[in-house]
Amino acid sequence: QLKDRLYKCHFIKQSKEVCGYPLSIFFIVVNEFCERFSYYGMRAVLVLYFKYFLRWDDDLATSIYHTFVALCYLTPILGAIVADSWLGKFKTIIYLSIVYAIGQVAMAVSAIHDITDTDRDGTPNNMTFHVVLSMVGLFLIALGTGGIKPCVAAFGGDQFGDHQERQRRTFFSVFYLCINGGSLLSTIITPILRAQNCGIYSKQKCYSLAFGVPAALMVVALVVFIVGSGMYYKAKPEGNIMGDVCKCIGFAISNRYKHRSKQYPSREHWMDWAEDKYDKLLIAQIKMVLKVLFLYIPLPMFWTLFDQKGSRWTLQATTMDGNFGAIVIQPDQMQTVNPILILTLVPIMDSVIYPLIKKCGLNFTPLKRMTVGMFLAALAFVCAAVVQIEIDVSRKHLTYFNLTQFLKIFPFLIIIRATFFLQSGQLSCAFSRDFGFGSSYTFFIPSTLSLGSNCQESITGAEDIKPNSVHMALQVPQYFFITAGEVMFSVTGLEFSYSQAPSNMKAVLQAGWLLTVAIGNFIVLIVAEVAKLPKQWTEYVLFASLLLCVCIIFSIMAYFYTYIDPTEIEAKFRRNVGDDDDDKNDKQRKLEMEMMKRDLDRSDDEHYKGKQTKM
Ligand SMILES: N[C@@H](Cc1ccccc1)C(=O)N[C@@H](Cc1ccccc1)C(=O)O
């Protein structure tokens, strides 16, 4: 390990830099940009693919979609274990990116209707083929995207030396910007691609292109990452670290239990009971990880609120008016407000707000930022509740009339946007109406109506539900607060998870961080099922209050948390181990160190000689 550390110092000293940043970082952020484009682009059209291509009903489409998303945040733990204990982060990223790209290609192929469209009528004839291929594809994608997620962030962090803490913090912000740049572009582009018509025998909505472009971007991500290969610092994996951690914790618990009687003196920390068998350094590292994981316990609640942007808030938008004059915004398009705000807020926070707070003499520590982030998310839900009350008031005295019911009564009615066709045998007639967002009407069709003539005048209508009068722009404050909260909570948390992790468990802690996202998603399902509140705004208030309570608990936990420098602690333990060694070992180590220094000096000389010859 000492050798590795010296090697890292030497490597970083020699690596190329641009404005104080290692050049290798460029390849990592471009890789993240392309990977997030691939992930969010595919996700943007996934539910529609289930519904319109695979012909699943809404419930099945929604549950498979959420299962997929949850799986994407459960697999990071697998990737982290493989990286930290076996393959190392670099190889894990390469191998899992290949799996990921294969998954994306499988999705694109599964969406080519012509493959099984034997009768060439535009619909697949062997749906099982498409379903199986897309499920295999999604499984591979979840394995790939989740598996590499904790590795890429930690691998990026590894490229910085101990003296580059400021640069490393900026790297995590730029990393976050790239995530949002990629996701913003893809969530705009893939729905446009999907809306195109394509096919060999017959033209259909082009899901294959909407999945094909993300697949291509994943291949680009992989190629970019490989191109940077020679420039990365690649920390070596240190054996089955997770196995050792579990065994060590198990031993500490059982040893503590064996020595539970009062005659045995107590130890400072329960993990110290493992000292009888395990290395003090490993115990210290486990203590560091457990301390951070304990702090993570309240965090899922933040994600519970955060992830409702895609569900509850989008549904809220469907009851609002999306007419912005020159453009009409669709409810699901409101989600793009999040990455747009991220792209503006991250630079503002980093270059204006945080330095200003520092200038005022306040120590705005990472945990304080995360607490404020939680508070802002709770505030966002209060805004959502206020908007909901506005919507409810505007729709209060209206009676609902379900259009499907209407269609059951008049099955011959075909609706094409705002034009209706009444049809009976060969005879038909059309009438048109203008409809506002979210409105509902009942039409009275006289029994004496003669089809074949113009029925525009003969059909009268009543407005059951007025057009949505509450404008979608009112959602902007809630998006603003949740995104400001995300910047303070998520960007900081990403860096915090890296900086507080021992050197051999960086990816594992990143995975722990992502696990809080997965748990947060499960809480949404549970609370929504159990609470079943009659009014939507009360549910928003409930979530805001829950997060506020969690925020208070977290701030107390954060108050007692002492920041550590894992490198320093590890070095101290190594020194202590060194003190315990006998003379022979000491001499041996000194000899090794000298040989290593000589090796490094020699390679330094060669490096500079190389530079001189090049000049
Ligand atoms: N702001 C999100 C990206 C986003 C883009 C479009 C619609 C919604 C969200 C973001 O930065 N995501 C990051 C971090 C994250 C956030 C939530 C759950 C897991 C990770 C990402 O890595 O995707």
Query: 302: CA distance to ligand 1 center in Å?
Result: 13
The pLDDT value recorded for residue 467 is 75
The pLDDT value recorded for residue 203 is 86
Whether residue 471 contacts residue 329, with contact meaning beta carbons closer than 8 Å, is answered with no
Task: Tell whether ligand 1 has an atom less than 6 A from the beta carbon of residue 335.
Answer: yes
The pLDDT value recorded for residue 612 is 35
Q: How far from each other are the two terminal CA atoms of the chain, in whole angstroms?
A: 36
**Which residue ranges form the domains of the chain, and what is each CATH number?**
1-239 (1.20.1250.20), 242-287+566-614 (no CATH), 403-465 (no CATH)
Question: pLDDT tens digit string along 423-434?
Answer: 776 677 777 776
Ranges in the chain, pLDDT < 50: 397-416, 584, 603-615
Of 34, 175, 178, 179, best ligand 1 pocket probe by most atoms within 8 Å of the beta carbon: 179
Query: 610: CA distance to ligand 1 center in Å?
Result: 44
| Ligand 1 closest atom vs CA 483 | 1
| Ligand 1 closest atom vs CA 486 | 1
Of 40, 312, 490, best ligand 1 pocket probe by most atoms within 8 Å of the beta carbon: 490
What is d(CA 403, CA 548) in angstroms, rounded to the nearest whole number? 40
Task: Tell whether ligand 1 has an atom less than 6 A from the beta carbon of residue 237.
Answer: no
Task: Tell whether ligand 1 has an atom less than 6 A from the beta carbon of residue 339.
Answer: yes
The pLDDT value recorded for residue 550 is 96
Determine which helix (DSSP H) or strand (DSSP E) holds 442, and give its type and residue range: strand 440-444
Task: Tell whether ligand 1 has an atom less than 6 A from the beta carbon of residue 183.
Answer: yes
Query: 180: CA distance to ligand 1 center in Å?
Result: 7
Task: Tell whether ligand 1 has an atom less than 6 A from the beta carbon of residue 497.
Answer: no
For the chain, give me the number of helices (H) and strands (E)? Answer: 22, 9
Task: Tell whether ligand 1 has an atom less than 6 A from the beta carbon of residue 483.
Answer: no
Residue 97 is encoded by which pair of tokens? 């990116």
Candidates 34, 411, 496; CA nearest to 221 is 34
Candidates 550, 560, 510; CA nearest to 299 is 550
Residue having the nearest C-alpha atom to atom 10 of ligand 1: 180
| Ligand 1 closest atom vs CA 309 | 8
Question: pLDDT tens digit string along 38-91?
Answer: 999 999 889 889 988 999 987 788 778 878 888 999 999 999 889 988 899 999
The pLDDT value recorded for residue 87 is 92
| Ligand 1 closest atom vs CA 187 | 6
The pLDDT value recorded for residue 297 is 96
